[in-house]
């Protein structure tokens, strides 16, 4: 049996996800492993770092075949974040509705020899001042007072006909949250 860090367990239970006990165990193993892994994070690395006693195929099946809804998990996480922000601000007596949504895009650079990975394209990198072979990730962070939390992230695909074919579309999707 793997002993998970209590903060991770409390966070997963606070989300009130509709997961079976084995699904919850796999989710905890993944989250714990991601925190413990250094450098490149793979499913094998996660399994090794958590001393997970099950076969690697159990973890991959959880991601590929297990009947859980990623949108539900995201909605629950965002609801939890909004409640945490409201609680922390109320605790300080701060009733001002000042919250910032910071949107950013970043490039996850890959070697040019990498050709079989989906979603790779040449994207302009502001830090390098040129187009680079990469994945493009659009992120959103919510900042209020001294609290900054990752809100959402989406992959950006430049190809026409793809679901997320423009950054403004992605930003709109990330900015449409209803509590």
Residue 78 lies in a domain: no
pLDDT in tens, 88-107: 888 988 877 667 778 888 88
pLDDT tens for 111-127 read: 888 887 877 888 888 88
Q: Give the SS3 label for residue 92.
A: coil
Query: 70 in a domain, yes or no?
Result: no
pLDDT above 80: residue 108? yes
Rounded to 5 degrees, what are φ and ψ at 120? -75, 140
Quote the number of domains for the chain.
Answer: 2
In a domain, 10, yes or no: yes
Look at residue 88 and tell me if it is in a domain. Answer: no
Residue 158: exposure state from Cβ atoms within 10 A (0-12, 13-18, ≥19): middle
* Residues 128, 59 share a domain: no
CA–CA gap between residue 4 and residue 26 (Å, rounded): 11
Domain boundary at 43, 64, 85, which?
Answer: 64
Q: Tokens 């970043």 correspond to what residue?
A: 106
pLDDT at 162: 55
Domain assignment of residue 114, given as a range: 96-174
Q: Is there a contact between 7 and 66 (Cβ–Cβ < 8 Å)?
A: no
pTM confidence score: 0.55
Q: Is the pLDDT of residue 82 over 60?
A: yes
Residue 121 lies in a domain: yes
């Amino acid at each position: 049996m793997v002993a998970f860090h209590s903060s991770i367990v409390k966070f997963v239970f606070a989300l009130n996800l509709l997961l079976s006990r084995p699904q919850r165990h796999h989710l905890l193993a993944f989250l714990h492993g991601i925190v413990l892994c250094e450098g490149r994070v793979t499913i094998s690395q996660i399994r090794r770092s958590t001393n997970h006693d099950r076969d690697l195929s159990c973890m991959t099946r959880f991601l590929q075949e297990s009947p859980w809804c990623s949108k539900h998990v995201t909605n629950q996480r965002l609801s939890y974040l909004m409640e945490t922000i409201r609680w922390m601000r109320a605790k300080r007596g701060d009733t001002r509705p000042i919250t910032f949504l910071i949107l950013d895009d970043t490039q996850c650079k890959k070697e040019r020899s990498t050709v079989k990975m989906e979603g790779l394209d040449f994207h302009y990198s502001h830090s390098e001042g040129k187009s680079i072979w990469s994945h493009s990730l659009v992120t959103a962070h919510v900042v209020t007072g001294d609290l900054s939390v990752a809100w959402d992230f989406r992959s950006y695909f430049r190809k026409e006909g793809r679901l997320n074919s423009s950054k403004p579309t992605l930003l709109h999707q990330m900015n449409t949250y209803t509590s």
